[in-house]
Amino acid sequence: MTETIKAYGTKAADADLKQIEIERRDLLKNDVKIDILYCGVCHSDIHAAKNDWGNAKYPLVPGHEIVGKVLEVGDAVKNYKKGDLVGVGCMVDSCKECSACEDDLEQFCEKGMTATYNSKDKHLNTTTFGGYSTSIVVREDFVLKVPENLDTKAVAPLLCAGITTFSPLNHWKIKKGDKVGIIGLGGLGHMGIKIASAMGAETFMITTSEGKASDAKKLGADAVIISKNDDEMNKHAGSFDFLLNTVPVKHDINPYLQLLKRDSTMVMVGAIEPLEPMNGANLIMGRKRVAGSLIGGIKETQEMLDFCGEHNIVSEIEMIDMKDINNAFERVTKNDVKYRFVIDMKSLKEA
Amino acid sequence: MTETIKAYGTKAADADLKQIEIERRDLLKNDVKIDILYCGVCHSDIHAAKNDWGNAKYPLVPGHEIVGKVLEVGDAVKNYKKGDLVGVGCMVDSCKECSACEDDLEQFCEKGMTATYNSKDKHLNTTTFGGYSTSIVVREDFVLKVPENLDTKAVAPLLCAGITTFSPLNHWKIKKGDKVGIIGLGGLGHMGIKIASAMGAETFMITTSEGKASDAKKLGADAVIISKNDDEMNKHAGSFDFLLNTVPVKHDINPYLQLLKRDSTMVMVGAIEPLEPMNGANLIMGRKRVAGSLIGGIKETQEMLDFCGEHNIVSEIEMIDMKDINNAFERVTKNDVKYRFVIDMKSLKEA
């Protein structure tokens, strides 16, 4: 029924990750078994491990930016075969019947999607375990094809940071010549710059930090606006077609709303907490909009990977061994990473 | 060059309105001179008179819900003739050249629209004076045709409260069968109910006040949700296609966001001040949107009047004489009006 494999997880909210053993279900007919090569380290992994959201089930094995090779497929699997290069993102299952699933938006499944970790596994009486592990078994519908032309290890963060930024840019139909601002330069923001640029937008990095200007330009930003500089902000007032706000903490969105053109939108993908008070007039004057966006559906995630393959886009990464994860968590918490840690899973297999 | 007429205005922020004399410009070739029959009393009139927004120029004559009859037209006026029943709303001029004006959204004119009162008059070296007066001279492009089949005095509030609620319902394409919530039952909210119902929406009044339930139903609401009742709010979670938020003061929008369906919008038309902190997660989960909307352009205002003519929609009003305006201001401030005061301007003409 199950196979015992090696993983890295935590048994308590102290988030001290150690090597543990977990069970993976045996292959069902629609399942794909994946040998995990690389797994990205997302800030959510830390929140989950520390039970910041109050829903942690221990032992907890994080990891939802997974790239690997197909080891084996179930009898009914149609689209994958042994040896294929594949990815798994934030979801491993959903009802596939509700209106959200019918609209290819499994992240909003009305019955609740199954998250890659810390979710109820539909088949075993356990929680799901993430990609900080040697292998994973996933329903075919939630497995993505990874373009062969990209640097495989740097693809891993696309499965979360990539789709989280691609989806709003794609859904709000960013096109050549649009003036797009990416607010915040971190794991999400650096992907936002690359993707918006590849879509042909005139891409601005909007950051509080002057120190990030040169990096932003190297990543593809056409220009940088330092948001603490009122003159610069005023110069660009009412000029943006779209803003993608990746700031992951409480902040004041009012100065950004003033950058938007009439009838334009700022999409929030980072902050899931109460923001500083928004001034109603900043929406009313110019019929402006603020919206949210959550990762993306599986179909759109595949589109994102194909887009990245076509435009040669990967994440900027720093490779680590599995045993270095606790230090990596500390550095992510301090924003001391450019721009994503990726775990080389060979280091766990050989441990 | 000018004509001296009677008006009611205030010379200071004490907002003690008295009869004064003001100058109206003589007819220019594109102007329409209107004998004012009725003028609605909008909450903005009070804010302006009291200098709540810090931009009052005294003497200040409020009034931007004007209905009257054409007295005379300039040589180049094409669409109006003496005796026509017409209206004037919140704007009397704009540049008519910028991209907003080209899009028939003069309220967002990039050079700044000329408000009906307390704005710089382009032709006289004065501020504009509003409809608390016996007559007004307005550029033809900003004059509206008033349907003859409606109760004329109850049409006046359509010029502000009507268009402010019609415009978002129209712009966001509310259609038969949509589940629409109107938040707040006052001057704006009561028009929102009537218009959304006439558009064929399943219309809910969402109010903090149980006492307003029966009134809301009389106005055409299909049902009422008391927003302080968590059970009722939870029952409707994720079910609304659109919310129109008319609450004119600081409040917590988070409970309303939870009522929205995936990909749906709440439009703010009332509160122009900082709101209680919005929780980012309430936008991110379900890709929801918050937007603002400001009155409506002239073309859309005419559509609104035609729509109201066709559906026999007017405002609920209480008629007052001009001399009772200070008392009316007090009652509006206390929300003690169902739902709009309208001044019978005969009372000023005969004073």
Binned at pLDDT 50, 70 and 90, residue B180 comes out as very high
| Segment 86-105 of chain B within 8 Å of chain A by CB | 100, 105
List of chain A residues with pLDDT < 70: none
What is the pLDDT of chain B when averaged over all its residues?
A: 96
The answer for A 240-279 residues in CB contact with B (under 8 A) is 262, 265, 268-279
Contacts of A171 in chain B (CB under 8 A): 287
Cross-chain CB nearest to B280 (options A265, A273, A289): A273
Q: What is the distance in angstroms between the Cα of A167 and the nearest Cα belonging to chain B?
A: 11
What pLDDT is stored for residue A271 in this prediction?
87
- CB nearest A283 (choices: B280, B281, B290): B290
Question: Residue B351's pLDDT band (boundaries 50, 70, 90)?
Answer: confident
Q: How far apart are CA B262 and CA B243, in angstroms?
A: 13
Structure tokens at B74: 């300039």
How far does A273 lie from chain B, in Å, by closest CA? 5
Q: What is the pLDDT of residue A54?
A: 92
DSSP state of A270: S
Estimate to the nearest angstrom the gap between the alpha carbon of A328 and the chain centroid. 17
- The shortest CB-CB distance from B279 to any of A265, A273, A285 is to A273
Give the model confidence (pLDDT) of B236-259 as tens digits: 999 999 999 999 999 999 999 999
DSSP helix/strand/coil, B182: strand
Contacts with B247 from chain A: Cβ below 8 Å = none
pLDDT at A351: 87
Q: How close, in Å, is residue A66 to chain B by CA atoms? A: 23
Which of 3.40.47.10, 2.60.120.10, 3.90.180.10, 3.40.190.10 is the CATH number of B2-160+314-349? 3.90.180.10
Q: What is the pLDDT of residue B271?
A: 87
Nearest to B325 by CA among B305, B291, B348, B303: B348
What are the φ/ψ torsions at residue B331 (nearest 5 degrees)? -70, -35
* CB A130, CB A138: distance < 8 Å: no
Q: Which long-range contacts (CB under 8 A, 24 or more apart) does A53-60 make?
A: A55/A118, A56/A13, A56/A118, A57/A118, A57/A127, A58/A9, A58/A10, A58/A11, A58/A12, A58/A13, A59/A9, A59/A10, A59/A11, A59/A20, A59/A22, A60/A9, A60/A10, A60/A11, A60/A117, A60/A118, A60/A127
User: Nearest by CB to A291, which of B105, B273, B288?
Assistant: B288
pLDDT tens string B29-85: 999 999 999 999 999 999 999 999 899 999 999 999 999 999 999 999 999 999 999
According to the model, what pLDDT value does residue B40 have?
Answer: 98
CB contact under 8 Å between B288 and A292, yes or no, is yes
Return the structure tokens found at A187: 């794991």
Taking a C-beta distance cutoff of 8 angstroms, is the pair B77, B59 a contact?
no
Q: Do B275 and A279 touch (CB under 8 A)?
A: yes
User: Residue B265 and residue B245: Cα distance in Å, rounded?
Assistant: 10
B294 at interface of A, judged by CB pairs closer than 8 A:
yes
Look at A284 and B262 and tell me if their CB atoms are within 8 Å: no
pLDDT at position B203 over 90: yes
Of A271, A273, A290, the CB nearest to B290: A290
A285 contacts B288? CB cut-off 8 A: no
User: Model pTM?
Assistant: 0.95
Q: Give A282's contacts in chain B (Cβ within 8 Å).
A: 292
Q: What's the whole-number mean pLDDT along residues B332-341?
A: 93
Residues from chain A that touch B113, judged by Cβ atoms under 8 A, are none
Separation CA A145–CA A114 (nearest Å):
20
What is the model's pLDDT at position A137?
97
Residue of B nearest to A254 (CA): B274
Out of A100, A265, A287, whose CB is closest to B293?
A287
Closest-approach residue (CA) in chain B for A286: B108
What CATH superfamily is the domain A2-159+296-306+314-349? Answer: Medium-chain alcohol dehydrogenases, catalytic domain (3.90.180.10)
Query: What pLDDT is stored for residue A47 in this prediction?
Result: 93
Could you name the CATH architecture of B161-292?
Answer: 3-Layer(aba) Sandwich (3.40)
Q: If you measure CA to CA, which chain A residue comes closest to B284?
A: A292
CA atoms within 13 A on the CB side of A293: 28
Measure Cα distances from A31 to A274, B199, B228 in Å. 39, 49, 47
Query: CA–CA separation, A161 vs A176, rounded Å?
Result: 22
Span B167-178, average pLDDT:
98
How many Cβ pairs closer than 8 A exist between chain A and B? Answer: 114
Q: Other C-beta atoms within 10 Å of B135: how many?
A: 19
Interface subset of A 164-193, CB within 8 angstroms of B: 171
Our measurement of the distance from residue A346's CA atom to the centroid of its chain's CA atoms, rounded to an integer in Å, reads: 23
* Residues of B in Cβ contact (< 8 Å) with A293: 284, 287
Tell me the chain B residues in contact with residue A290 when contact means C-beta distances shorter than 8 Å: 278, 283, 289-291
Segment B105-154, tens digit of pLDDT: 999 999 999 999 999 998 888 899 999 999 999 999 999 999 999 999 99
Closest CA to A196 of A226, A172, A160: A172
Residues in chain A with CB shorter than 8 Å from the CB of B108 are 262, 285-287
DSSP 8-state assignment for residue A116: S
d(CA B155, CA A57): 61
Per-residue confidence (pLDDT) for residue A298, from 0 to 100: 98
- For residues A84 and A310, give the distance between their C-alpha atoms in angstroms, rounded to a whole number: 18
**Which residues of chain B make contact with A285, given a CB cutoff of 8 A?**
108, 292, 294
Domain spans of chain A?
Answer: 2-159+296-306+314-349, 161-292
Asked if B220 contacts B246 with a C-beta cutoff of 8 angstroms, the reply is no
**Partner-chain contact B275 A280, CB within 8 Å:** yes
Helix (H) or strand (E) holding B170: helix B161-171
User: Looking at chain B, which residue has its C-alpha nearest residue A99?
Assistant: B262
